[in-house]
Structure 1
Amino acid sequence: MAITRAFKYGDAFAVCIPAALAYEDTDIELEIERIGDELRIRPARRSLAGVVQKFASFSPDGLPYERDDQEQADRQAPS
């Protein structure tokens, strides 16, 4: 467990997160919620809003790119 401090930052209340607990990515959105006397901070969940558009861009066979017709090599029957 780490000990940190909280302070007033403009109209907001800020918390210093010790380097040992910080996320590698410094440009990350965080969610914060209060549960009783605890504050929970975690990476923001990504919205699934763009997923439908991403899948709509796939070709009818489900691949995100066009595939060339390729001949299959003859296979030998198992002995």
Structure 2
Amino acid sequence: MPFTRLFRNGNSQAVRIPAELAYPDTDTPLEIERIGDELRIRPARRRLTGLLDAFAAFPDDFMAHGRDDQTQAEREGF
């Protein structure tokens, strides 16, 4: 397991991520949370804030006739 150190960056505490664990894109937004004595850092989850606006942009007759000739495939019982 790689080790690293904390350091100060202005008024914030920072941690260096070793090269072998670094994210390939430095513009990746990250989330950080404390769980007990651990800090977890992960790529930020995509938010669904614009989803309703995207749905509202569909015309009123979108899929008015359903999905046309889509058929359900036969499946074996479990």
| Higher alpha-carbon Rg | 1
Q: Which TM-score applies when normalising by structure 2?
A: 0.70
What residue number does 2:5 align with? 5
Which moves more between the two structures, 8-17 or 48-57? Answer: 48-57
Q: Which TM-score applies when normalising by structure 1?
A: 0.69
* Counterpart mapping for 1:64-75 below 5 A: none
SS of alignment partner, residue 20 of structure 1: helix
- Structure 1 gaps of 5+ residues are 63-79
Q: Tell me which amino acid in the other structure corresponds to 1:61.
A: F
Aligned-partner Cα distance in 2 for 1:29–1:56 = 28
What residue number does 2:29 align with? 29
Runs of 4+ in 1 over 2 A off after TM superposition: 58-62
For residue 58 of structure 1, report the CA deviation from its aligned partner. Answer: 2.4
Once superposed, what is the RMSD of the aligned Cα atoms? 1.3
What residue number does 2:68 align with? none
Q: Indicate whether 1:43 and 2:53 are aligned.
A: no
Percent identity of paired positions between Structure 1 and Structure 2: 61
Query: How many residues of Structure 1 are paired with residues of Structure 2 in the alignment?
Result: 62
What residue number does 1:72 align with? none
